[in-house]
Amino acid sequence: MNIIIAIRGATTCEQNTRAHILEATTEMLALIMKENAVRESEIVNIIFTATPDINAAFPAEAARAIGLSAVPLLGAQEIEVVGAPRLCVRVVVFVDNGRHRDSVKHIYLRGAVGLRPDLVGVQTFGMLNVAIDGPAGAGKSTVAKGIALRMGLRYLDTGAMYRAVTWLALSQGVDLQDAAILSRLAREMIFDLNADSQLTLDGRVLGNEIRTPLVNVSVSLVSSYEELREVIVEKQRKLALRGGIVMDGRDIGTTVLKDAPVKIFLVADPRERARRRLVELRALGHDVDLEAVVLQIEQRDYFDSHRAVSPLRPASDAVIVDTTNLEVEMVISHILDIIARKKDAI
């Protein structure tokens, strides 16, 4: 007797548009099939449900888009529930392939990662996405690494991706005023995280080459181009698809991970931030003085907060933490307390 197994999945859409609905649903379906080694011929049928705020497209269309042309599909609208994830698509894929249901890998992505931690097989915090934003020198990377280490999550320094594009462009003599060429360059770059959460480019760990003074003064221009940012943001979201990641940057809570249940925005006095950056630069062997770094910090702040695309600003639901007079461990402990208080809401 054949046993039909049911594979569950859920995801959220960034916006109620046809493109965003199909993109999110396609990612979910593709991952369900990949993680469970499912072939089209083994799928009995698929049931889709969507929250009432999704009406720009049928999520089921995504199945046809990835070639599931012969599979019976059914779509339904969920009831509206206070506090439920917004723009959420759920799916149940019924499969006849001889597998035992205990071996099934259910897929919960984006803002839906905390819906069924029992089905995913990990604790809710194991799938948690944390967004940490703030200006240069506020302590984002150090704090984010500490949070990730304490919670057993992956860590991604998103700014390093823009730095990598800048460094590669400078190395190849690319005109930093040419947004189109820079965007093509970024699109061809393959980023990943290794087991130690080190960012790799084409399989190679990125090091101090992306943190030189020349890269420091050039990265704001490179990261201001809309087309290039779209390319990098897409790569960042793919790295966050399975949840369980701490990302730091300048637009994580407002753009990259808008559904992250925990959003932190770090701030600090500009002179204190310059002092921290000075220590980093001198440790790398760069001969710079404090006033020059203060000026660079102020210029970067202005550029980042006034750019047309994804300007530096806290998300409306972010918790602002001033790190000026706090040691790193104090900041980490404070944020861990914030996360703990969020636990019941996830």
What is the pLDDT, as a whole number, of residue 123? 41
pTM over 0.85: no
| Phi, psi angles (nearest 5°) of residue 28 | -65, -50
CATH of the domain at 199: 3.40.50.300
Residues 278 and 257 in one domain: yes
Q: Give me the pLDDT at residue 83, please.
A: 63
CATH number of the structural domain spanning residue 59: 3.30.1330.40
Q: Can you give the pLDDT at residue 124?
A: 45
The pair of structure tokens assigned to 17 is 């548009």
119, 234 in Cβ contact below 8 A? no
Q: Are residues 214 and 278 in the same domain?
A: yes
Closest C-alpha to 318, from 70, 138, 69, 90: 138
- Per the structure, how many domains does the chain have? 2
- pLDDT score at 118: 57
- What is the three-class DSSP state of 152? coil
One domain for residues 112 and 140: no
> Do 77 and 189 sit in the same domain of this protein?
no
pLDDT at 126: 55
**Burial class (CB within 10 angstroms; exposed 0-12, middle 13-18, buried 19+) of 79:** exposed
Residue 30 to residue 94: CA distance in whole angstroms: 15
Pairing of strands 245-249, 319-322: unpaired
pLDDT in tens, the chain (346 residues): 568 899 999 988 878 999 999 999 998 999 899 888 899 999 999 999 999 999 999 999 999 988 998 999 999 999 987 667 788 999 999 998 777 777 788 888 766 765 665 555 444 455 689 999 999 889 999 999 888 877 778 899 999 999 999 999 999 999 999 999 999 999 999 999 886 778 999 989 999 999 999 999 999 899 999 999 999 999 999 898 877 899 999 999 999 999 898 999 999 999 999 999 898 888 888 888 899 999 989 998 898 888 888 888 999 999 999 999 999 888 988 998 888 777 655 5
Helix (H) or strand (E) holding 210: none
Task: Provide φ and ψ at 60, rounded to 5°.
Answer: -60, -20
Residue 339 to residue 220: CA distance in whole angstroms: 31
Instruction: Indicate the angle between helix axes 179-188 and 158-171, nearest 10 degrees.
Output: 110
Do 280 and 298 lie in one domain? The reply is: yes
pLDDT value for 25: 95
Q: Do 52 and 132 fall within a single domain?
A: no
Burial track 235-260 (b if 16+ CB lie within 10 A, e otherwise) = bbbebbbbbbbbbbbbbbbbbbbbbb
Residues 96 and 137 in one domain: no
- List the domain range (segments joined by +) for residue 306: 127-345
